[in-house]
Amino acid sequence: MKNLLIIYHSITGGSRAMAQALAEGAAEEMDAEAGIQSLLLQASEATEQHVLQADGYVFITPETLGSMAGLMKDFFDRTYYPVLDNINGRPYAVLVCAGSGGQGAVKQIQRIAMGWRLNLIAEPMIVCTHAQTPGDILAQKIINPGDLERCRELGAAFASGLAMGLF
């Protein structure tokens, strides 16, 4: 059985919606014959055991002050060294819910993934909400249907690739 671990943190709902859409897409590709299962976890709940038991990873975070969210960083802080050299070569993807750029969060996660020697299987996906005022930044986010569909498609492709042994 192959395991896809989807780890996310969400402050205003955008990253959560993206994670749920990705998990739905992965679920479309999963059945008993495919031998694939996924686990959707908030970053604060994910442990080194979850990381070690997974065959692939999707990291989803909001951009916060140009960086990944603090609780996503906490996840990496807690799990980085305990799994180092035990997950080399496994596939991963990155999704960021950003108010503007999102590249700072992507670069941080990619640097950590490089240390873990993970293999990026898709271009990082940045969904921009254009939230620029304090009110817009703190408001609950509604991700547009097209972006949610891209998340679903990535989830389906990742699960399918794991099932076929492509990565």
Which has the higher per-residue pLDDT, 61 or 167? 61
pLDDT category, 66, cuts 50, 70, 90?
A: very high
For residues 76 and 112, is the Cβ–Cβ distance under 8 A? yes
pLDDT category, 86, cuts 50, 70, 90?
A: very high
**CATH code of domain 2-164:** 3.40.50.360
Question: Can you name the residues that pair with 92 across neighbouring β-strands?
Answer: 57, 120
* pLDDT tens digits for range 97-135: 999 999 999 999 999 999 999 999 999 999 999 999 999
pLDDT at 71 over 90: yes
Question: Can you name the residues that pair with 68 across neighbouring β-strands?
Answer: 63
At CB < 8 A and 24+ separation, what contacts does 140-143 make? 140/12, 140/13, 141/12, 141/13, 141/14, 141/17, 141/97, 142/13, 142/17, 143/14, 143/17, 143/18, 143/21, 143/97
What pLDDT score was predicted for residue 33? Answer: 55
Domains of the chain, residue spans: 2-164
Residues 6+ apart with CB under 8 A from 44: 9, 71, 74, 75
What pLDDT score was predicted for residue 29? Answer: 79
Q: How far apart are CA 109 and CA 118, in angstroms?
A: 11
| Interior/surface letters 50-59, b for 16+ CB within 10 angstroms, e for the rest | bbeebbbbbb
Mean pLDDT value of segment 125-149: 96
State both tokens at 111. 């640097």
* pLDDT tens digits for range 9-33: 999 999 999 999 999 999 987 765 5
Tell me whether strands 56-64 and 91-98 are parallel, antiparallel or unpaired.
parallel
What pLDDT score was predicted for residue 35? Answer: 81
Residue 165 zone, left/alpha/beta (φ > 0; ψ -120 to 50; rest): left
pLDDT averaged over every residue in the chain: 95
What pLDDT score was predicted for residue 32? Answer: 52
